[in-house]
């Protein structure tokens, strides 16, 4: 069977198995030889042979190879995708519902931005399994006593209910920030998340309908950022409007969650979400990363005209940030999905494919797990990759059905027997079967022709 047909059939088999809800399993670490491969290097496709041993790419063919594949220049390898903003893996229930979907989608790295310490403690052992997505957890999520996301997490949006919960830390002033800082730091983690929402409109605090949708005052956000940086912690700031974006930059946060214009919960004019050229340039100078989350806009079910207006704002904001050289990260904030939804949303907004794939496979995973060699295929890089049926630069839909998923040299599969037997010797797609040798039939030796003298003697004998 040709390799392409074999891989498509294998993908169909794995998809069928997924429908039976079999959990993913990981093989033992395998040695790989990938002949005639094509892979995305962050800018374009390269060609050559790749080798894997002990979970990393190596320069030479290993002495013993478990999996040998000849890709014949048809399939394409990309590094796994990363999701910089979600909340669906920060509880044991969410993990059970969505962890395997991450592997299905080829998303092997993720950040969960608002978990409480007790819930995250239940999930950490699950995230450490070989067949699991790797997750960075934020366990200190800080907002105002009437701030986002209280309306989403409380059964009843009220001041009393807000004070009784312990998932979100409530801070109302710089003085409170300093007083509660030891308790905030005790929640653990290398990151904390602060919320800025409509910070330029204090009159919204008098509207009951806005309870649970607002956030910190800019001076409180700045003090929390100062305290975090003094203790070596990074800060990610949720923003809604362009004014929130400016306040987050003024506070000096490391990352901004949400491109302004992902939502419009206060029914504001589109221009309130348009960031300035000066803000984009400041983000670039301060090395502030911006998590895009444009896919989340579809969750708000806007009418066609308001949706088109918000998409234009998003398009313009992306263009300004790219022109300034600001750092973008891929994140969807789609609870029932993964970063794959964000790739398609950004593709529809016109982001060029090479940039899009670089953000998803290199910039974002490296931001989530700094110090590791991720998103590359050179010797010494972690051997985690997806095998696609074709070129995603020409057809982004190729990312929607990975043919193989490999994490640090381990094959990830829903088929237990495949995982168990993968390290054994197996048939190779790289070696051309040898043709059976032809049988050589010996012909009887010809009798030598009689000489002329013999011929004459024989004639005389016959005449006699």
**Predicted local distance difference test score (pLDDT) of residue 12:** 46
What is the per-residue pLDDT for 45?
97
| Whether the predicted pLDDT of 235 surpasses 70 | yes
Helix (H, G, I), strand (E, B) or coil at 9: helix
Above 80 in pLDDT, residue 383?
yes
Whether 244 and 181 map to the same domain: the answer is yes
365, two tokens? 């995973």
Is residue 144's pLDDT more than 80?
yes
Query: Is residue 455 a part of any domain in this protein?
Result: no
Give the confidence band of 442 by pLDDT, cuts at 50, 70, 90: low
For residue 208, the enclosing domain spans 81-375
Instruction: Give the chain's domain count.
Output: 2
Would you state the pLDDT for residue 157? Answer: 84
How confident is the model at residue 418, as a pLDDT?
83
Strands 289-291 and 327-329: parallel
114 shares its domain with 231? yes
Q: Which residues, listed in sequence order, are joined to residue 141 by a DSSP beta bridge? A: 193
Tokens in use for 462? 């016959």
- Spell out a b/e string for 360-371, using b for 16 or more CB atoms within 10 Å of the CB, else e: bbbbbbbbbbee
CATH code, domain carrying 433:
2.30.40.10
Q: What six digits make up the tokens of 316? A: 């313009």
CATH of the domain at 296: 3.20.20.140
End position of a domain, from candidates 375, 403, 428: 375
pLDDT for the residue 459: 42
One domain, residues 70 and 85: no
**Rounded mean pLDDT, 409-416:** 94
pLDDT at 424: 66
**More confident: 21 or 91:** 91
Residue 456 lies in a domain: no
* Omega of the bond leading into 376 within 30 degrees of 0 (cis): no
pLDDT at 183 over 80: yes
Same domain, yes or no, for 207 and 252? yes
354 and 383, same domain (yes or no)? no
- Does one domain contain both 263 and 397? no
- Alpha-carbon distance 393 to 43, whole Å? 10
**Type and span of the H or E element at 238:** strand 234-238
Question: Are 160 and 270 in the same domain?
Answer: yes
SS3 call for 188: coil
Give the span between the Cα atoms of 37 and 71, in whole angstroms.
Answer: 5
Q: How confident is the model at residue 437 (pLDDT cuts 50, 70, 90)?
A: low
Q: Are residues 13 and 120 in the same domain?
A: no
Q: How far is CA 45 from the centre of its chain?
A: 19
% of the chain exceeding 90 in pLDDT:
81
How distant, in Å, are the alpha carbons of 68, 358, 427 from that of 422? 12, 30, 11
- Cα–Cα distance measured from residue 113 to residue 90, given in angstroms and rounded to the nearest whole number: 8
Query: pTM of this prediction?
Result: 0.87
**Is 458 inside a domain boundary?**
no
Domain stop point among 375, 403, 421: 375
What is residue 438's predicted lDDT score, i.e. its pLDDT? 55
């Amino acid at each position: 069977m040709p390799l392409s047909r074999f891989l498509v059939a294998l993908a169909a088999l794995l998809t069928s198995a997924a429908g039976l809800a079999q959990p993913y399993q990981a093989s033992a670490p395998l040695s790989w030889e990938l002949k005639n491969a094509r892979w995305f290097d962050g800018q374009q496709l390269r060609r050559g042979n790749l080798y894997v041993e002990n979970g990393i790419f190596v320069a030479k063919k290993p002495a013993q190879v478990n999996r040998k594949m000849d890709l014949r220049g048809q399939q394409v390898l990309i590094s796994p995708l990363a999701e910089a903003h979600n909340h669906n893996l920060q509880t044991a229930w969410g993990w059970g519902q969505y962890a395997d979907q991450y592997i299905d989608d080829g998303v092997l790295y993720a950040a969960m931005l608002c978990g409480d310490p007790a819930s995250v403690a239940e999930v950490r052992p699950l995230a450490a399994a070989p067949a699991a997505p790797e997750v960075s957890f934020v366990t200190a999520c800080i907002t105002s006593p009437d701030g986002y996301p209280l309306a989403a997490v409380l059964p009843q949006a009220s001041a009393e209910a807000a004070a009784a919960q312990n998932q979100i830390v409530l801070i109302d002033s710089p003085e409170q920030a300093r007083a509660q800082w030891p308790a905030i730091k005790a929640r653990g983690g290398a990151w904390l998340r602060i919320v800025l929402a409509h910070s330029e409109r204090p009159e919204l605090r008098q509207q009951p309908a806005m309870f649970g949708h607002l956030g910190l005052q800019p001076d409180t956000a700045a003090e929390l950022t100062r305290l975090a940086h003094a203790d070596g912690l990074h800060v990610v700031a949720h923003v809604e409007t362009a004014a929130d974006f400016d306040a987050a930059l003024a506070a000096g946060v490391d990352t901004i969650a949400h491109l302004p214009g992902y939502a419009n919960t206060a029914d504001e004019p589109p221009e309130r979400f348009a960031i300035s050229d000066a803000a984009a340039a400041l983000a670039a100078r301060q090395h502030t990363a911006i998590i895009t989350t444009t896919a989340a806009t579809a969750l708000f079910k806007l009418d066609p005209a308001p949706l088109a207006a918000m998409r234009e704002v998003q398009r313009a904001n992306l263009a300004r940030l790219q022109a300034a050289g600001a750092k973008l990260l891929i994140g969807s904030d789609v609870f029932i999905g993964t970063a794959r939804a964000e790739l398609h949303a950004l593709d529809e907004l016109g982001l060029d494919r090479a940039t899009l794939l670089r953000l998803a496979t290199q910039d974002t995973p490296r931001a989530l797990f700094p110090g590791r060699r991720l998103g590359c295929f050179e010797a010494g890089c972690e051997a985690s990759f997806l095998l696609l049926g074709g070129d995603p630069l020409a057809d982004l839909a190729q990312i929607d059905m990975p043919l193989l998923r490999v994490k640090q040299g381990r094959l990830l599969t829903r088929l237990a027997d495949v995982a168990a037997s993968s390290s054994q010797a197996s048939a190779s797609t790289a070696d051309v079967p040898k043709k059976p040798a032809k049988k050589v039939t010996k012909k009887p030796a010809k009798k030598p022709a009689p000489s002329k003298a013999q011929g004459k003697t024989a004639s005389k004998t016959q005449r006699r």
